[in-house]
Amino acid sequence: MNILIVEDEDLAVEKLKKTLEKVDDSAQVIGVTGSISSSIDWLNNNPNPDLILMDIELADGQSFEIFERIRVKSPVIFTTSYDEYALRAFKVNSIDYLLKPVQTDDLEAALVKFREFKESFTQAPEHQTTNIEKLIRELQNLQPKEYRKRFLVKHVQKLVSVEVDTIAYFYSEDRFSFFRTHDDKQFIVDYNMDELEDLLDPDDFFRISRSFIVSVRSVDQIGDYFGNRLALQLKPSISKETIVSREKVGAFKKWLGK
């Protein structure tokens, strides 16, 4: 049985290898990758392994991105540090998980499960892919995402930490990004708008256009604007136009009405 290990911690890799030797003498580790990019390169340039042991948190992000960028044709057993109780909710027939640190009995049981379903993987690869994608969706829905709680910014030749819940809105101008706090203080921040949108809790912040992200507390007044758009008055006020783009109007109304 040829196995690819996707894991960015050297000690964890060595432990997996030693544990595999104990529980299955037919297991052969044919590759080890430690990042999303290296995993994609390996899978694109090597025969499909019989099985992949894959950590969720990798050096350059979550391993789910691998499945978004390429089609993974091998069954996967995920390894994770998440609580065992939460994981019970999304175990599926064809794939298992290992709670880190990986225990010998857990790995042995997972390989037994893999062998039991190996025939279905071989005979119906389309079902295999479906099950992998199902697990990914379940994992993404259940595991809570951590959003930024504060930003470290420069102020009067010093670094200060600003809590996110004190920020009224973010905006971009001349290739720089800024935010303004509810008490009308302005700071420059070292992230672009796409990065900020991903870092901020969508319950509290909404990107109304390419250059503006507003907090729910900053919206003072809303008016109609030509082209089926909306014009906002924010607090604290700003001289720049704050227009909700037409394609975002519906989602904005839904967000503001939560």
d(CA 70, CA 155): 43
Chain center to CA of 117: 29
Report the C-alpha gap between 92 and 240 in whole angstroms. 51
Q: Which residue ranges form the domains of the chain, and what is each CATH number?
A: 2-142 (3.40.50.2300), 150-256 (2.40.50.1020)
pLDDT at 145 over 90: no
- Does the pLDDT value for residue 141 go beyond 70? no
Q: Please write the tens of the pLDDT for every residue from 193-224.
A: 999 998 999 999 999 999 999 999 999 999 99
The burial class, CB within 10 Å (0-12 / 13-18 / 19+), for 58 is buried
Distance, in Å, from the CA atom of 162 to the CA atom of 152, rounded to the nearest integer, reads 6
pTM for this prediction: 0.48
Instruction: Quote the tokens at residue 94.
Output: 């064809």
The better pLDDT of the pair 125, 50 is held by 50
pLDDT at 93: 34
- What confidence score (pLDDT) does residue 137 get? 60
Residue 88: predicted pLDDT: 42
pLDDT tens sequence across 146-203: 789 999 998 888 899 999 999 999 999 988 999 999 999 999 999 999 999 989 999 9
CA nearest neighbour of 207 among 155, 251, 241, 164: 251
CA dihedral defined by 204, 205, 208, 214, rounded to 10 degrees? 100
What residues have CB less than 8 Å from 223, skipping those under 6 apart? Answer: 230, 231, 232, 233
Mean of pLDDT values over 74-91: 61
Per-residue model confidence (pLDDT) at position 192: 93
Contact 20, 107 (CB under 8 A): yes
